[in-house]
Every structure is written in structure tokens, then in C-alpha cells.
Structure 1
Amino acid sequence: MEQAALHKIKQLQQRYIGYQLLADALLATGCAFLIASILYRPWQARAVWCGIVSFMVVMGILATIRRPWNTTLATLCRYLNVTYPQLEESSALVIKPAAELNLLESLQRSKVEQEIVHLPGQPPLVMHRVKKAAGLLALALILSAGMLWLGKHWPTAKGGYYFGDKKTTAQNAAPPEKVLPQIDGVTLKITPPAYTGKPARQQDKFTIIAEEGAVVTWHISTNIAVNSVTLLFNEHEKLALTHQKSTEWAAQRLLSKPGFYQVSIDGKLSDLYQIQVVKDELPAIHIKSPRQYTHIDAGEVPRVIINANVSDDYGVNNAQIFATVAKGSGESVKFKDTVFSFNTSFGKHNRQYNLQRTIDLPKLNMKPGDELYFYVQAQDTHQQKNRTDVLIVSIQDTAQLLSMDGLVAAANIKPEYFRSQRQIILDTEKLLKEKDSIGVTTFKNRCNDLGTDQKMLRLRYGKFLGDEEEGSHEDNEHDELGKAENFGNAAMVMDAYTDKHDNAEDATFLEPAVKAQLKATLNEMWKAELRLRLYKPLEALPFEYKALRLLKDLQQKSRSFVAKTNYNPPPLKPEKRLSGDLSKIGSPVNQQTSRPGMDKYETLKKAAGILEQSKHQALSIADKRILQLAAQQLAVRASAQPGIYLKAVGALRRMLTSNVVQPTDRSIIEKAIQKSLPSSKTSPYPASATADMGLAQRYYQNLNR
């Protein structure tokens, strides 16, 4: 019985570990299916590998967190004690050696062994977790199937639909077309231009969605012998089909603009068929680094790393960097243009490239104070070009930064401690030059002294931002609080231990922009002080220069200059003064004849009113004339935007040919007319004046009496 109980506990341990791993595997499988279904539409075949990788990652994370293999016999016994009350919390006695048990424990063990042998082989808590994981897996499978179904029937950006691994155009999902009864079949061969890299395709519908510059070939077969077959484009361009066999007709045309067309067989016209032209988009360029304005401080590496992402809908042919170096200042500035190429081959004409190029500024003979202007230009396979905005990279001119020109000018001179950052920079550079000639102890002491000077300067600037001072004046206040007569004085305690940041005078001392720049200056000073305290003056030097540059920029912003202006009035003529002669002063007369312009939307507005009246009365001859003119205007718009106005043109023609007005046709035409009309802008207008019956005139006459 003892061996049987111990064997049963070990068996339960193995099943516990196995069920835990099974539950983790079910959860990882559900996550893998969800990720694969999400990535199936853009990546398709690679989505399966992404699902496998995600399964391994999720399974590894869950197993690492739970660690079921670390389940010991003692842990399992505690679980059994909680789950089964008949064990009387004594299942741990079974795994103990018999020599370590006393008489009472031996009696209890013999009782528990019988209960353990009759325990079920599948603990309920473990099975509950497995069932829960299986339910989540079923939910994940349902969601994955739903996303795959939506991915197949969801329209793409260019009007297509995804069905498995094959992309079809929108006309395959459109309703059946209405063709002439003489047409037995049609085959359209669309040959995309060479820059797209797409093969030729065929379709059996008249509606065309093709790339710009594609060549379309029509092959129309008739069920009877006909005399002529013609294609009518946009109601005025005709293309006659050539007679190949007894009932076979063919024609070819280059598509460069959207519109619509009809098939004419012996004078009988078909419905309107749509022509959509997909234009080639310009290459898209995204600059990841550097920023638009990059400033290289003293001590930084004079190097620019350009990271760019170039993409195009059909393929990228080339990408280059056009740079201009500006040297000098004022009238002596000189410019030099340079063209850089990326170290990437564009022979495959991929749709996306991640490009990188490193430019060493010293190789361009750039010195402190010079600037580099550059932009990235990309070209696609259709020879279309696009470029980014100009990016600027400048090198800090330390000689100009250390000059005293901005300080000796008599315009809003700052206090003395606004100029001490320059001395810290000079002392740091001097320390770096003398590093090899002085001892280590002297070097560290001087670094520490410079850090102390930087700290004192930072604290002086902190006064302008309301920072607390570091000092020992608080000890005297604490001594005053310790006296017996001040015990319980709440006002003195609040005054001593609270920060006074709500002073109105301090709040308006500096403007928000100045405060923000001062905070940035204190941040750079703190970084410089940290490096100096760590005996790294070379690393502290760039932060010192940046702090000085921010201070000098702040000082230049606060300068004010008002130019002196002189006023030279014209000479006066004493003989003309006070004479009151206004004979030579004439009032300007401006005559202009304005004629009301023709409203080009008047016909459409009248057509909208006629459509509203057609709900209650039949169309007259004059109404049909106005609707014909409106149909011509909508046809012009349909030639440019067939997807919006082509249905309205067809509905309007059906309305004119038949005496019955269908509500669906009326709704389509009204929506198209509303899109054609400009949006009305509400403008203020004067209120209508009420008639005063001559009271104002009589009141004025009475006043004159």
C-alpha cells in the first residue's frame, strides 16, 4: 500500500506537469493563428512562418513564467491537501521516510495511503485550466477564420480584392454588365506599360481598370453578321473596329486618361462602360535621420549619418543626395554643389529600399562656421522624381562663440555672472592641454575645482527659475523653532518648511520661452558638472559649449534696437495758408459698369427642381430639354471622374427615354447633382427695414422749424 500511494503521487506529478504544458501549448497555438491571419493579407506565404515563430516565442514565455517542471512532490501534496479534504492535510507523510515518523504519524500515514490510492487520475483544477485554454483556442480559430474571410472580400487601395493568392480587379466583384444582344462575347487584353513590370492580363468584361499608359485590345465576337462596330469614347471620340473574320472584330487603344465609352453596332448604342486609369504615384521619401536642423557642437564627431526610406508603387530606379556646402559669411560666402550616391544597387527595382550614407564633413573641406544643405531625390521606373525638404547641418564656430562682440554692445547688458561660462570653457581647454605635464592628483583637483565653479554658476542661474539655494541659513530658522515660546506656531513651521513657488513677482519675472531656454541651459551645466566631477573634462567640453551657445542665443534674443528716423516735411507756402481756396481740389470719380455673370450651375439647379417636381407630375417637353442639358454637363464630369458621375448619366438617359421615372434613378441623379454644385456659404445680410410711413421726414421738418 505504501509503494502504491507513493507511485500514485509521482504519477499525479507527471500528469500535472504534462497538463500545464498542454494548456500553454493551446494558448500559444491560438496566438499563432491570430498573428498568422493578421499578417496573411500583406505577406501571404511568409505569414505561416511568422505564426510558427510566434508560437515558439509565446510558448517559451509562458513556460518560463510558469515553470511547471519545477513542481515538486511537496508542492503536489499541498495541492492535494487543499483539493481533497479526506486526506486531512496529511498527504506529505507519504513522501517522508518511515524511519522519521513517530507512532501517531505512522498511524495517520497508513490511513492516508488508502485514500491516495483511490484518488482520480486527473485533478479537477488542472483539467479546468486545460478546458479554459481549449476554449480560448476555439475562439482564436473563429476570429482567424473571420479575418481571413474579410481579407478576401475587403477592397484594396486601388479598387482590387484579394482572393487567396490571386488579386482580381473590381469588375470581377461588380454586378453583370448589360451588353447588346448582337454581342456573343468579348475579350479585353490589357498590356500594362513596361515601367510597371506587370504581365499582360485578359478579362471578359467591358469595364476597364488599367494603369496609366496601358494598351487595351478589344476582341468582340457577334452572333450575327453586322456591318460596323464602333467604340464611342466620352460621346465624341470614335474608334472603328476592324473586321477580321465573319463575326470577329478587333481594335486597340492607348489609355492615358479616365472616362467612359459605348459600343455601337450598326448605330445601336450599348450602356455606358467605365474606364478608370490608375496613375503612377511619385516616389515617397522618409528621412529617419538626421533632423531637419542639426547642430554639431565642439567636441562632437563632424559626421552626418543619413538614413532614408524610399518606396514607390511600381519600383524605385535611383536615389541620390544633392548637397551644397556654404563657406564664409556676408558677401564673401561661397557655395559648392556635390552629389552623393547611396551604396545600394537599384537594378532589381524593388518597391522599397532602406538607404544609409555617412558623410564626413572634413572631407568636404568644412570648417567651424560652415553649413551643409542637402536633400534626397528619388526616381521611379516611370522617370518621375520627388525630393525631400532641405536639411541643414552646421558646425559650431567656437571662435565666434568666444568673441565679446555681443557683450560690449550697448544694448541690455546682462550681469557679470552671465559671462562666466566662457571662462570655464577656457579653463577646461587649458586643463586638457596640460594634462600630460601635471600629476594625477593635481589634474583631479583642478577638475573638481572646475566642477565647483560650474555648480556655483548653475545655482546663480537657478535663482531666476525659483530654485532653492544651497546653504546653512536654515539652521538658524530651525533653532528659532526649537525655542519654547515658538512651540505650536503653525505659521512659523509653514514658513520654514514649505516652498514658495506662487510668488506673483517671480512668476512674471521671465517669459515662458526664456524660462524654457534657461532650464535647458541648467540641464547642460549639470551634465558638464557631472563629467567634471568624474574627472572627464573632454566629455564635459561639448556640454559647456552648448550651455554657452544657449546663453548667447538668449542674450541676442533679449537685445532691442530702435532705428532713428527723420521726418522731412514738404515746404509750406505762406501765401496759401488760411486762404480757404479749395478750387484745385477735386473729388475722385470712378465709374464702372458691372454686368451679372452667367451662372454655370443654373442648369443643374433647375434640373434639381425638376426632379423634385417629377415626384408629383409628369415631365414636360421644356423639362426634358433642361434635363438633356444637365446630362451633357454630367457627361463632361463623368469623363474625368467616371466612378462618381457615370451611373447618374446612365440613369438620366433612362429617364429621358422612358416616360416612367424610377425612384432609384432619381436618387442617383440628385446625389450626383449635389456633388456637382458648389457648397453655399452663409454670409450676413442686413435686416429688412420697416416702412415708417414718412414719420422720419416729418420729424426732420419739425426740427428745422
Structure 2
Amino acid sequence: MREPKEILRRALNKWRLIRGAEVLVTGFAAGMSTYFLFSNAMVAMACFVGVLLVAMLYVKPWKYTLEHICSRVDETITPMEYSTALILANESELPLLSKIQRIRAGETLKRHQREIRFKNSLLPITGLSLIAVLGAWLLHVLGVFQIDHTATQIPGTDVVNFKRLDAVNNEMIPPKIGKQEIHIAYPNYTQMPDEFTTQMNLRVLEGSRVSWNIAFDQPLKGVQIQIGEDSLRMDFRNNSYSKTMVVDYANFYAIKFQDSLGKAYLSDLFALEAYKDEPPVIEIEGLPQFSSFDFEGPQKLAFTTQLKDDFGLTDVAIIATVSKGSGESVKFREERLGFDTKLSHGTKRQDFSKTLNLRELKMEPGDELYFYVEAIDNKQPRPNISRTETFFSVIKDTVTDQFAVEGTLGADLMPDYFRSQRQLIIDTEKLIADKPVIETKEFNFRSNELGFDQKALRIKYGEFMGDESEGGPVVTEVETVTAEDPLAEYTHDHDGSNEHNLVAEEHDHEDHANEGDEENPLEAYVHNHEDPEASTLFAQSLKSKLKQAMAEMWDAELYLRLFQPEKSLPYQYKALKLIQEIKNSARIYVHRIGFDPPPIKEDKRLTGDLKEIGNFSKDETLDNEDLYEGIRNAVARLEILLDTDMKITKADRELFNKAGNELARKAIEEPGSYLETLQMVKWLSQSENSTEQQLKSALKGLYQVLPKRQRLPYKDGRYDNQLNNLFIEALDVE
């Protein structure tokens, strides 16, 4: 019944699209009508978004489900006999008659699928929307809602205002700019056309060439453009002043000139913002961070890469490094690989695909591949380079080295499989967590497999303890079994089968001596490999802990075989703790190399003679650079000027100029926050006269720039009142 269900799903998606189209048409009509009525794109966009959200919440096209579709099908298609819901039902839970009816309903739905109809109002809404948009357009043409904006128009940034720097003379008419034009030539690699503007606040790309061309209505002595601390003279050509420079960083600038009488004027500050050429953006899909392959299977990595850049790409490649061998014999080979898709030079966005075949890279089992994608854009003279994170791929090595001890080599007391007990704990906890969602048969199977792994680990430890049999402990006495125990294969008899794992008592030697056996005089000096207690690779101090760990593994295996992993966990944790103690006890500690003091003379000891001992003293002054030294000095000077009504001197102007340079650096980092204060400080550094209001404004702005000092601890005088002072004086007199 897969095809009838697919028919219902397609019908549901169609219904949702129709309802969504109703909402979209309504919002579009509201936005267009608002735009024609008020001629404001922002208001129209806000109206479109608002109506769209309200209509979407009202219609809720996502609320329609397959059950609603079944109801519509039953209402519109009579031959369905109200049996559409059976198509969605689970066949295994239906009785025989319902199954037959379900098949009939599916065949009927296939024949009548074109007759499915939905309740919608798309056509009426579309008609009303067209009428509303046409009506709003007609009102716009007639000018019914047009507003005259000329009365409230604010001068833009293309209007340059100048201020006199000397005493004010109302009889003189100050010069004005007759024409201003700024030419912006972007770097050639961007392929962007030149831009002409009258706006004085500029935002250009780093490396762009900016040319100012300004004409005045009166002859002048000279015009300068002040950028930061530099003052550049503008050239006079064709009755206008011009200056060209390459913009490499953000700054502020102002226009300064002198009229024919030598009076100086200074303009407001304007922002010269320089944005950087962004490096390429690389997005990789369908590629895991780490992948491994079998030697016999396919060894291919397929992925797609999407590259984007603001001005264009020139090169993209895969930097791959193949490592062979291990240890000191490892070798690396680096290759630069191309994509299967050819790069279109200068493209700003392109998708690339690549299939890496490890066999073509001549990789063998155990070899590893490290690679990343690198992209270069067309920036000049130094391009931007981006790269992705490194991806790893390895071919599994089917040959592993087994640990062995030769007669001339020392024993490795810390083999790799000491860490496998932790993995058993992790797998057991995962099995316990998966118990509610898996079947009992699978749960029992996994628990039994973990028991087998626990047994394999215990046997490995047994090899280091000298056990030569992998079937379990060796029983020295034969016991009579009266009844077959079904759990005998999985249980652990602590009273019998584990006797060889117990630590021998000291009186055992006395018992053997009393049995009349002849004592071997070389027994204390030889290493008997036939004795399991002596054939071990560990010292006697580690033997008891390892035996105890093996005993815990026996109990852990028992409960895993009984399908009770919850009870097995405590024993596994105990075994892991013992293994960690063995690991720590097997560490080697070396003596720390440090200062070895000279020996003490016995005749000088405890005499208290300090004549030959000199004191050590060191005086050092640490210079802490003050980033706001000029601003602090300017604040102090402004406070004096406000209190004494003194005039600004040449030294004051130099001080304010230094403070303005410090403030400009901070204004570039936070554009818009300190521009007004910077303008006021700039005015004070160039002006010969100032008003009290200008000094107060500059002082207030500079106070806000200074960072707050950390308050130091001081004596609190809240308990130092007159009564306490009189009481202390009386005590002093007495």
C-alpha cells in the first residue's frame, strides 16, 4: 500500500501549498498597497511582514495532517465508502475483512486521485488583492496621499559646514564650497566600476584610490586636508583644489583653508572607513572528520565543496599528506590535488566535487591520509588564503604485533590490553541503558558476549600469572557431582576452583617439610617455571592485587552470563580500580634534579655570626604605559580654563591636538560614539577663541572617554563622629 499512501502525502502537500499561497498573496497585496499610498519602502515592508505573520498564524497550514486528507477524500469521493483511513492503518493489526477493504480502498483511490478537492479561497483572495493594489496605484497616480517633504528636509552629509578659527567678524562673508566631487577608484582586481559621489563620509575598500576635488566661490590662499595627525596640501588646478591618496586604514579627516585675508576656517570631521577584502569561505558537505577503510573493500572518499568570495577566486586545491611507517621510520609524502570540477577564474561562488581514491595515492594497510581544502582569492598584491580543518583517513592494518618475551629481553609490565576493562564497563553501561528499547533475546545475546570478553581478558591476565590453561583454574582434587548443574559452566566456585589463586600462607612451607619430602638446597636460588605461583612476570607486591582483580573478573563474568549486567558492574569497577593501582605501582620514579646547596661549615654552625653575610636590595621602576595621558592632561587643563576664564594658548592647542589624536584611535574602534567630542577637541586645537559652552562640552565628552579607575581600599570614617572624639580625648586626659 505504498502507492496509496504516497497519493495521500502528495495531496496533503498540495493542500498546504494552496493555503500558504493564500497567505502570501494577502501579504503581498497589503505591502504593495501601502507602498503606493505612502511611497515608503520601509513601511511597506513592515506591513507585508506583519500581515504575513498574522495570516500565517490564523490559517496555520502546518496543522493539516493525513487524517484531514482522509476526511476530505471520504467527503469528495463516494466510491471510497469512508474507508480511506484504512490505508494509513497498520496491516498487521487489522482483521481479515478490514484488510480486504483496505486493498479495495487503495485501488479506488488510484483511479479517483484526480477528483480530490480541498476547501480554499485562493481565487477570491487573488481577485480582491488585485483590486486593492490597482486602487492604491490609482490613488498614488492622482497624488491623494503625497506628502511634501521639502519643508522638513535635513541637509545631508554632502553639505560641508565651516567655522572660523579666529575672532568672529560679522562684516566678512565666509567662503563657501561651490562644487565638491569625490572620485573613488577601486583596485583593478575587483573589476568594480569607478564611483563618483558628493558625500564626505566615505566607506571604501582597502587599497582604493580616493580623489577629492573641491571648488570655492572665493579665491583662497591655500587649502589643506587633515587626516589624523597629517596635514596634506591640496593642489590648485582648473579653479579647484584636488588631492589623491590611497586608503589603507580607517581614519577621520577635515578640510582647512585660509581666505584671501589670511583668516583660517575648519570644517567638521568626516569618517573615512576602509573595509577589508574578506578571505574565501569554504563549506564542505558529506565528509566525516575521520574515516577508515578495509584493504579489500572500496577506498573512495566522495564529497562536495562550496566556495564563496566577495571579489573572485583564482585557485583551489586539496593539500594531501600520506604517512607511511611508524616510529622513527615514518615517511611523509605531500601532494597537491585538484577537484573534478574545473575552476572558473574570477568566479565569486562555485561548487566543486571530488572523489579521492586511496589506491591511486598508493596507500597500503596502516597508511594514513591527512588532507584539507585550500582556496586563494584574486586580491593583489597579496592574496587571501583560506583553508579548512584537517580531515583524516586510514586503511585498516590487518597485521598486528603480538607481545612476546625473549630470554634476553626485559618484560613489558604494562601491556596494551590493561585498558580493555574500562571498555567493558562502557559497553555494560550502554547495554543497561538500551535494555528498555531492545528485545530480550538481543539483550541476553549481548550480555553473554560481554561475559565472553570478560573471560578473554581474565585469561590474558592469567597468562601473566603463570596459568597455562585457558579453561579456568586447575582443580587438584576430584569431587563427586551428584546432580548436573546447568550453571556449572558459568559459575565460579570460590571454595574449590579458585584455591590456586589464593595467596599462600606462610605455614604451607612447614606442612610440606613435615611430609618427609627431601628438601632441595637450590630451591631458594632457582626460578621454577612448573610452579604457577613462581612463573609470573610481576613482583610479589603486585601478585596479590592481580589475583584479587582476577577474582573480581570471575564474579563479573558470572552475572554477565546470567544476563544480569547490573550486578556485574560493581565487580568490574573493583577490577578496574585494582588494575589502576597495579599501573601506578609499576611506575618508575627518578630523582629530581635541582639546586644542591654547598655544605655547611661545622665551626660556623649555630654561632650567630653574620659579619660576612650581606643584604640584597634592588630598586626598579616599572613603567606602565598610559594610553590616555594626553586626554587626562587635557581634562586637567580644561578645568583650569573654566575656573580662571583664561584664553587658550599655543601650548594648550598642542595639548588638545595630542588628546584629539588619542581620542581618534578610540573613535575608529567605536565609530559614532565619540565623533562629537572629537570634533569639539579638534576645534579647540585649531581655534584661537572658545566659549564656555564649548569648553564644558569638550570636558564632559573627555570624562566619558576615560576608563574608570579601580577604587583602592581606604579608611571608612562613618564611626568617626564627635561623641567618639570627645570620649577619646577624655581618656587621653585621664
TM-score (norm 1): 0.52
Find out whether 1:178 has 2:170 as its counterpart: no
User: CA separation of 1:681/1:507 partners in 2, compared to 1, >3 Å: closer, same or farther?
Assistant: farther
5+ unaligned residues in a row in structure 1: which ranges?
A: 1-20, 79-125, 146-170, 422-450, 465-470, 474-497, 515-553, 692-705
Aligned with residue 588 of structure 2, among 548, 551, 563: 563
- Alignment match, 1:647: 676
- Alignment match, 2:386: 386
Shift of 1:201: 1.3
Equivalent positions of 1:525-536 (< 5 A) are: none
The 8 Å contact of residues 258 and 640 in structure 1, kept in 2 or not, is answered as no
Find out whether 1:71 has 2:75 as its counterpart: yes
- Tell me how far apart the structure 1 counterparts of residues 324 and 658 of structure 2 sit (CA, whole Å): 62
Cα offsets for 1:418-471 (capped at 9, x unmatched):
7999xxxxxxxxxxxxxxxxxxxxxxxxxxxxx99977323456999xxxxxx9
- Secondary structure, counterpart of 1:633 in structure 2: helix
The 8 Å contact of residues 311 and 352 in structure 1, kept in 2 or not, is answered as yes
- Tell me how far apart the structure 2 counterparts of residues 686 and 412 of structure 1 sit (CA, whole Å): 66
- Secondary structure, counterpart of 1:364 in structure 2: coil
User: CA separation of 1:453/1:73 partners in 2, compared to 1, >3 Å: closer, same or farther?
Assistant: closer
Equivalent positions of 1:54-93 (< 5 A) are: 66=69, 71-72=75-76
The 8 Å contact of residues 652 and 669 in structure 1, kept in 2 or not, is answered as no
Cα offsets for 1:597-645 (capped at 9, x unmatched):
674534423545677899x967545899668624423335526854354
- Alignment match, 1:591: 618
- Tell me how far apart the structure 1 counterparts of residues 217 and 20 of structure 2 sit (CA, whole Å): 62
**Which amino acid in 1 is paired with 2:391?**
L
- Alignment match, 1:327: 324
Shift of 1:333: 1.2
TM-score (norm 2): 0.50
- Tell me how far apart the structure 1 counterparts of residues 572 and 28 of structure 2 sit (CA, whole Å): 54
- Tell me how far apart the structure 2 counterparts of residues 413 and 321 of structure 1 sit (CA, whole Å): 36
- Secondary structure, counterpart of 2:359 in structure 1: helix
**Which amino acid in 1 is paired with 2:232?**
K
Cα offsets for 1:92-122 (capped at 9, x unmatched):
xxxxxxxxxxxxxxxxxxxxxxxxxxxxxxx
Aligned with residue 285 of structure 1, among 257, 282, 291: 282
User: CA separation of 1:499/1:22 partners in 2, compared to 1, >3 Å: closer, same or farther?
Assistant: closer
Shift of 1:193: 0.9
- Secondary structure, counterpart of 1:562 in structure 2: coil
**Which amino acid in 2 is paired with 1:28?**
A
User: CA separation of 1:508/1:31 partners in 2, compared to 1, >3 Å: closer, same or farther?
Assistant: farther
Aligned with residue 254 of structure 1, among 234, 237, 246: 246
- Secondary structure, counterpart of 2:307 in structure 1: strand
User: CA separation of 1:206/1:596 partners in 2, compared to 1, >3 Å: closer, same or farther?
Assistant: closer
- Tell me how far apart the structure 1 counterparts of residues 218 and 416 of structure 2 sit (CA, whole Å): 99
5+ unaligned residues in a row in structure 2: which ranges?
A: 1-13, 32-40, 83-117, 137-153, 163-173, 259-263, 406-410, 425-442, 457-484, 488-562, 721-734
User: CA separation of 1:22/1:361 partners in 2, compared to 1, >3 Å: closer, same or farther?
Assistant: closer
Find out whether 1:276 has 2:273 as its counterpart: yes
- Secondary structure, counterpart of 2:212 in structure 1: strand
Cα offsets for 1:373-400 (capped at 9, x unmatched):
2222211110222223433323332212
Cα offsets for 1:226-263 (capped at 9, x unmatched):
4443323224231322321xx33433222222222222
- Tell me how far apart the structure 2 counterparts of residues 190 and 182 of structure 1 sit (CA, whole Å): 24
Shift of 1:306: 4.5
The 8 Å contact of residues 656 and 684 in structure 2, kept in 1 or not, is answered as no
Shift of 1:687: 9.8
- Tell me how far apart the structure 1 counterparts of residues 449 and 653 of structure 2 sit (CA, whole Å): 83
- Tell me how far apart the structure 2 counterparts of residues 370 and 593 of structure 1 sit (CA, whole Å): 58
- Tell me how far apart the structure 2 counterparts of residues 584 and 199 of structure 1 sit (CA, whole Å): 86
The 8 Å contact of residues 231 and 241 in structure 1, kept in 2 or not, is answered as no
- Tell me how far apart the structure 2 counterparts of residues 598 and 628 of structure 1 sit (CA, whole Å): 20
The 8 Å contact of residues 319 and 377 in structure 1, kept in 2 or not, is answered as yes
Q: Give the percent of matched residue pairs that are identical in Structure 1 and Structure 2.
A: 20
Find out whether 1:265 has 2:257 as its counterpart: yes
Shift of 1:502: 9.7
Find out whether 1:457 has 2:465 as its counterpart: no
- Alignment match, 2:659: 633
- Alignment match, 2:413: 410
- Alignment match, 2:354: 357
Aligned length in residues: 470
**Which amino acid in 1 is paired with 2:75?**
T
Shift of 1:186: 0.7
Equivalent positions of 1:65-464 (< 5 A) are: 66=69, 71-72=75-76, 176-178=159-161, 181-244=175-238, 247-266=239-258, 267-288=264-285, 290-296=287-293, 301-382=298-379, 383-400=383-400, 403-404=402-403, 409-411=412-414, 456-460=448-452
- Tell me how far apart the structure 2 counterparts of residues 591 and 319 of structure 1 sit (CA, whole Å): 59
- Tell me how far apart the structure 2 counterparts of residues 659 and 500 of structure 1 sit (CA, whole Å): 88
Structure 1 or 2: larger helix share? Answer: 1
Shift of 1:327: 0.9
- Tell me how far apart the structure 1 counterparts of residues 161 and 633 of structure 2 sit (CA, whole Å): 31
- Tell me how far apart the structure 2 counterparts of residues 416 and 189 of structure 1 sit (CA, whole Å): 71
- Tell me how far apart the structure 2 counterparts of residues 631 and 571 of structure 1 sit (CA, whole Å): 60
User: CA separation of 1:414/1:584 partners in 2, compared to 1, >3 Å: closer, same or farther?
Assistant: farther
Shift of 1:575: 8.5
Find out whether 1:30 has 2:59 as its counterpart: no
- Secondary structure, counterpart of 2:344 in structure 1: coil
Shift of 1:212: 0.9
Shift of 1:328: 1.0
